[in-house]
Structure 1
Amino acid sequence: MQLAINAVLFVIAFSVFSNITQFRKTINQLVKRLRSITHGFKLGALPSKQDDGILPHELLPASDAELLTRNDVEGRFDDNSWQGLAYHDFRTTILARGKGMNTFPCVYATMGYRSGDHRFVFLESDNPSEPRNIRKVALALAEYLRISTSLGPNTSLVIIGAPSEKERTVEEHNRTFWDMLRGLRICDPKAWPRDIPQDTEDAKWTFCFSGEPVFPVMLTPAHQERWSRHMSVPLIAMQPKWVLDNLLQTPEKRKAAQSKVRNLLQKYDTIDISPDLTDYGAAGTSEIRQLCLQDKNESVHCPYRNFDS
């Protein structure tokens, strides 16, 4: 009898010790991941596999999300602050209309702003790939996607960066964008949807976060010919794919929307329409090449074939 009791006690002790060992291992891994946050990304350097823990998804409490409405922005920031000036430039650009003014090509973004459906996030610097900015965007994006269907048919999350301290090329701005997307995938608490390929060269690829397909685009101060992708500060607009699905749900609606936008692009830009602006899913194309357009008619190169590896 005593032998049986001793055996049970040994099993319990071994189990407790194993759990403690596993617990310590988990803590050590988390500490290592947290320490790596302080190193940040270097502009133009690809995050390595060792950086996979730079933004652990344990750091995503929804209560910390900073998601601002149009009224919040206008009431919080002074007109002469960089946030106020950048917001004014965004507002002026997408509302431009009338004699002597070119209408912003994405009329649906304009409609979303007028109806108050957009939400805004202001970064801590001009580099969206910095860990502090990735964390801020991840928190805001997760909360935004949770409520997006209640905001209206033309909603977008508008992410506004600070003025650049030094002049950057379009390619350099694009690199910060790609690295931001990589960072978002690292800290995303949800797995990539099974029905969407992760190969960025696949015609059916689209970016996903929190299990939701999203269409993000980058606007930069460096664009001087493709004015539809120009803004005075680095700016990223993220739109849930259901917005586009609703807008383009029939061949007739798709044709009408594309015709309207393309006609405005021809008047707005001083360069021909990019050949990469193709239909989603068309053979031989990928949506990845639409997110960051060059200031010339050459296809952009994404350094990530898979944002999870």
Structure 2
Amino acid sequence: MIVAKQTLLTKEDVETRTDLPAWFKKEFQTFENTVTDKTFPCYFGRTGHLRGELRYAYIEQKDWSNAASALKDFLALFENPKHKRHGLFLFVEPFEVQQSLEAYRQQFWDILQYLHQVDDVEWPEEAPKDPDHYLWDFRYAGQPVFAFGNTPAYKQRKTRDLGNAMVIGFQPRLIFQGLEGTEKGGIMSREKVRERVEAWDNLPKHPDISHFGDPTHNEWKQFFIGDDSEPIKGKCPFQHKAL
């Protein structure tokens, strides 16, 4: 039975529901074919999809409201400890013509700004609101969330091309507990994935990639990296409501 306005989807939902847009089903199939390839470097994404641990949602170009409801429902899953390794992938309806990387980058930040504007939960007083602070993190429904963009405009960093649609990944900060950049387990697992990514992309790790809490690092730059090995310059497009 289809639940009305159910925007947070499982793999089974996407495969069986008949009310989902054709473009979304097509892009989901491309995504699935990519991440389940045995050579795909992101082990966590591959195993998460195969085990049914990931969640999915979509938005259309003229209506982004699904993003807010799906992300809110997704974060509510973490009230149950068994969901601690889940990730959410939000599919954005493709443009009629493929855009430049900068156009996708702008839309990525516009979507995060939209989510921030409709979020009715205040950020904690101690949470930095300026993205240039090294401890800044995006928050939604009270939770710190890591977001990362994947688009067809990536030509060199092929691991970031998951089909014709921009696909935004969301990972609550709490799923990284025990895998922090300063913890042995976190260092080892991240380095293993990064080595595989470098081999797949045939490019070195992007210079803006680091771990949360690194005082020489800006977290926002990691959200949407360049298709090269040049550091991102300029100010973060995100603007907190209180500033």
Judge same fold: TM > 0.5, yes or no: yes
Q: Quickly say closer, same or farther: Cα 1:137–1:78, change in 2 above 3 A.
A: closer
Matched position secondary structure for 1:144: helix
Task: Decide whether the 8 Å contact of 1:289 with 1:302 is kept in 2.
Answer: no
1:70 aligns with 2:11: yes
1:306 aligns with 2:239: yes
Query: Match of 2:27?
Result: 86
Tell me which amino acid in the other structure corresponds to 2:78: S
Deviation at 1:81, TM superposition (A): 2.8
Deviation at 1:86, TM superposition (A): 0.6
Distance (whole Å) between structure 2 residues aligned to residue 85 and residue 305 of structure 1:
31
Out of 77, 82, 87, the position equivalent to 1:147 is 77
Deviation at 1:293, TM superposition (A): 0.8
Query: Match of 1:220?
Result: 151
Query: Match of 1:186?
Result: 117
Query: Match of 1:276?
Result: 208
Distance (whole Å) between structure 2 residues aligned to residue 219 and residue 87 of structure 1:
13
Q: What is the count of residue pairs matched by the alignment? A: 236
Distance (whole Å) between structure 1 residues aligned to residue 220 and residue 124 of structure 2:
17
Query: Match of 1:137?
Result: 67
Distance (whole Å) between structure 1 residues aligned to residue 99 and residue 58 of structure 2:
20
> Which aligned pairs between 1:155-234 and structure 2 lie closer than 5 A?
155-232=86-163, 233-234=165-166
Distance (whole Å) between structure 2 residues aligned to residue 95 and residue 112 of structure 1:
10
Distance (whole Å) between structure 1 residues aligned to residue 69 and residue 132 of structure 2:
28
Structure 2 gaps, min length 5: none
Task: Decide whether the 8 Å contact of 1:64 with 1:139 is kept in 2.
Answer: no
Query: Match of 1:119?
Result: 55
Pick the structure with more helix per residue.
Answer: 1
Higher Rg = 1
Once the two structures are superposed, residues 219-252 of structure 1 have per-residue CA deviations (whole angstroms, 9 ceiling, x without a partner) of 0010000112112111001011111224338621
Deviation at 1:193, TM superposition (A): 2.1
Task: Decide whether the 8 Å contact of 2:9 with 2:57 is kept in 1.
Answer: yes
Task: Decide whether the 8 Å contact of 2:181 with 2:187 is kept in 1.
Answer: no
Distance (whole Å) between structure 2 residues aligned to residue 177 and residue 249 of structure 1:
25
Task: Decide whether the 8 Å contact of 2:131 with 2:236 is kept in 1.
Answer: no
Distance (whole Å) between structure 1 residues aligned to residue 158 and residue 79 of structure 2:
30
Task: Decide whether the 8 Å contact of 2:178 with 2:185 is kept in 1.
Answer: no
Q: Quickly say closer, same or farther: Cα 1:201–1:85, change in 2 above 3 A.
A: same
Q: Quickly say closer, same or farther: Cα 1:115–1:149, change in 2 above 3 A.
A: farther
Query: Match of 2:195?
Result: 263
1:285 aligns with 2:226: no
Distance (whole Å) between structure 2 residues aligned to residue 246 and residue 68 of structure 1:
27
Matched position secondary structure for 1:200: coil
Task: Decide whether the 8 Å contact of 1:200 with 1:286 is kept in 2.
Answer: yes
Task: Decide whether the 8 Å contact of 2:89 with 2:168 is kept in 1.
Answer: yes
Tell me which amino acid in the other structure corresponds to 2:87: S
Q: Quickly say closer, same or farther: Cα 1:223–1:196, change in 2 above 3 A.
A: same
Deviation at 1:267, TM superposition (A): 1.0
Task: Decide whether the 8 Å contact of 2:137 with 2:219 is kept in 1.
Answer: yes
Distance (whole Å) between structure 2 residues aligned to residue 270 and residue 77 of structure 1:
40
Distance (whole Å) between structure 2 residues aligned to residue 79 and residue 183 of structure 1:
23
Q: Quickly say closer, same or farther: Cα 1:80–1:177, change in 2 above 3 A.
A: closer
Distance (whole Å) between structure 1 residues aligned to residue 22 and residue 238 of structure 2:
39
Query: Match of 2:168?
Result: 236
Tell me which amino acid in the other structure corresponds to 1:95: T
Tell me which amino acid in the other structure corresponds to 1:204: L
